[in-house]
Copies of this chain bind each other. A is one copy, B any other.
Amino acid sequence: MNSEDFAKTKADFIAQWGTLGSSWGINRTMAQIHAFLMLAVEPTDTNEVMQALKISRGNANSNLRDLVGWGLVRRVTYPGDRKEYFEAEKDVWTMFCIIARERKRREIDPALNLLQSSSSKSYKKTDPEQQLFASQTKALAEFVQTADLVLDKVARSEESKVLPFLIKRFK
């Protein structure tokens, strides 16, 4: 593939990855920056990101900060150069673990809190509505807790210890 076509392919991939990001509940720009950095051979500065994705400095800055916050991107500095560069985590399993942990923290833990606090109140056994509320929140709490534990354990394991095993068991 000549480099002109390749540039197109790459830009297209990044754009589409951004769209996918949206449907994943991640903002478009953040997903695009992540894709861009994941495909960058060398650490890249804010200006390059802005240029490549045609976004403002503020936008680039805040999404880069978020990505660093997630742990998907690292700040890199070189001695004698004041600029900051950014570099994405490229290992797929590591990325998966980071994302799993973060989604767990942001999505599962708060749900589990709500479910556990709701299900641990005491309800009137003679009222079918309270009865249902109690049993339903309890069942959900237990399920989510289990899922949480499993996810947690998987995301802490080494790829080589988990994936072959899951594949064998579930493929």
Contact = CB atoms under 8 A, between A and B. Distances in A.
A128 B20 CA distance: 26
Contact of A114 (B20, B41, B169, B170): B20
A107 interface: yes
Contacts of A40: 132
A6 B124 contact: yes
Interface string A5-27: 01001100100110010011100
Contacts of A111: 20
Interface of A: 1-3, 6, 9-10, 13, 16-17, 20, 23-25, 38-41, 90, 92-93, 96, 106-107, 110-111, 114, 118, 121-124, 127-130, 132-133, 136-137, 139-140, 143, 146-147, 149-150, 153-154, 163, 165-167, 169-171
